[in-house]
Structure 1
Amino acid sequence: MEKLRTHIEEIVSLTDDEFDLIKRFFTTKRTLKNQFLINEGDDVQYEFLVLSGIFKVFYLDEQGKEFILQFAKENWWMSDYQAFFQNKKATMYIECIEAGEVLVSTLEGREKLSSELHKMEHFYRMKLTNGYIALQQRVKLLLSSTPQQRYEEFSKLYPDLLQSIPKKLIAEYLGVSRETLSRLYSK
């Protein structure tokens, strides 16, 4: 749980009593490679904070083609947020691609924690804001850049993921073929 405290304290400071309260709203879950935390059609009751491992958040189109929206590594939050916040069925999948551990929390717990400890309301708002900014940047990059530019930006932002994630998945994330990624990678 110390990773959780360190993560939260990047945004807000906490007393020991405040952190004792926060801990009650999280449980730890170990994950295995290829394990799914969310499948399309699930009721989504949880959001996850990655403590270790690497995950991918993706959806499948009607032809079964996979589209990766997000990779998640240590200190990244993930869920099918439309389903989580709006009490809808999942349209996404979350799969563990490198075994690890996550902290699990519920929407009810998040709301209760935020009302009991306003620092956490601020924390969650900042995390959502930063996530929204990152998502806009990703969409902008996908819509208005070349494969080379997308690869360079990914390499700059996530050099550790280049070494940890199979090239096939990086190609899917960047919206390029595996062959194109190989050419970009060799440059």
Structure 2
Amino acid sequence: MSYILRQQIEKITPLTDKEFEYIFSHFTTKKFKKHQFVVQEGENVPNDFFILDGCLKSYFTDKNGKEHILAFGMQDWWITDYEAYYNQSKATINIDCIEKSELLCLSFQNREKLCAEMHKIEHFFRKKTNKRNVALQQRILSLLSNNAKEKYDQLLQLYPQLFQKVPKQLIASYLGVTRETLSRLNSPTK
């Protein structure tokens, strides 16, 4: 399944077989069960995770015990607690598996090593970070300015596959609406 990672990198920069083998040697593969934590609040976050298979959610639990979904992750996506990963500090969020998942793990040290040694990989990660920053800004603006129907339609348009993998109550949490509101948005009369 390493070809999934290679395809993603080569959308941004071409690689020789030797270059990809070297890059791939810096990753480890790990399998997780449904509901298993990948990152847990208060723990160290040594890895950024590239999803080979499965579906994950990152979330914050507030002081009242309410879960707030920050992001989902599916095949060919990256996910981690980026604040903890880049600062080598304790996690402030949780990431767990919505379904069994297989991930490639890239330690912070290996990422830094690859970026220092290979301009192509530094370029790749810069482009990926730029895209993530834009997506995060768009999500924040959507949360601030769109009504529930607009948020729902936007998510459905951008990521229709999420609706096949993610339970409705998690979609509702991600959109900041109740399960009942989501049902109304999803009804055939709308």
Quote the offset at 1:109 in angstroms: 0.2
Instruction: Report the Cα offset of residue 28 of structure 1.
Output: 0.8
Determine the structure 1 residue equivalent to 2:86.
85
Indicate the residue corresponding to 2:122 in structure 1. 121
Residue correspondence of structure 1 range 1-187 to structure 2 within 5 A: 1-186=2-187, 187=190
Amino acid at match of 1:70: A
Q: Secondary structure at the match of 1:48?
A: strand
Deviation, 1:88, is 1.4
> How many pairs are equivalent?
187
Q: What whole-Å deviation, never above 9, does each CA across 1:52-97 have from its counterpart, x for those lacking one?
A: 1000010111111111110000111111000010121100000100
Cα deviation, residue 143, structure 1: 0.4
Alpha-carbon distance in structure 1 between the residues aligned to 2:32 and 2:134: 28
1-side partners of 2:147 and 2:118: how far apart?
A: 45
TM-score by length of 2: 0.97
Q: Distance in 1 between matches of 2:145 and 2:170?
A: 21
How far residue 151 of structure 1 moved from its aligned partner, in angstroms, is 0.3
How far the C-alpha of 1:7 sits from its partner, in A, is 1.3
Matched letter for residue 75 of structure 1: D
Shift of 1:133: 0.4
Deviations 1:152-177 (A, max 9, x none): 00110111111211100000000000
Measure how far apart 1:135 and its partner are. Answer: 0.4
Separation in structure 1 between the aligned mates of residue 25 and residue 164 of structure 2, nearest angstrom: 35
Write the deviation string for residues 106-132 of structure 1: whole angstroms up to 9, x where unpaired. Answer: 111001001111100000000000001
Following superposition, which runs of at least 4 residues in structure 1 exceed 4 angstroms of deviation? none
Letter matched to residue 120 of structure 1: I
How much does 1:4 deviate? Answer: 1.3
- The letter of the residue matching 2:16 is T
CA RMSD after TM alignment: 0.7
**Please, which runs of 5 or more residues in structure 2 have no aligned partner?**
none
Q: Distance in 2 between matches of 1:56 and 1:94?
A: 6
What is the rounded CA distance, in whole Å, between the counterparts of 1:89 and 1:63 in structure 2?
21
Q: What SS class does the counterpart of residue 72 from structure 1 fall into?
A: strand
Give the unaligned 5+ runs of structure 1.
none
The whole-number CA distance in structure 2 between the counterparts of 1:159 and 1:31 is 24
TM-score normalised to structure 1 length: 0.98
Query: How far apart, in 2, do the equivalents of 1:77 and 1:126 lie?
Result: 13
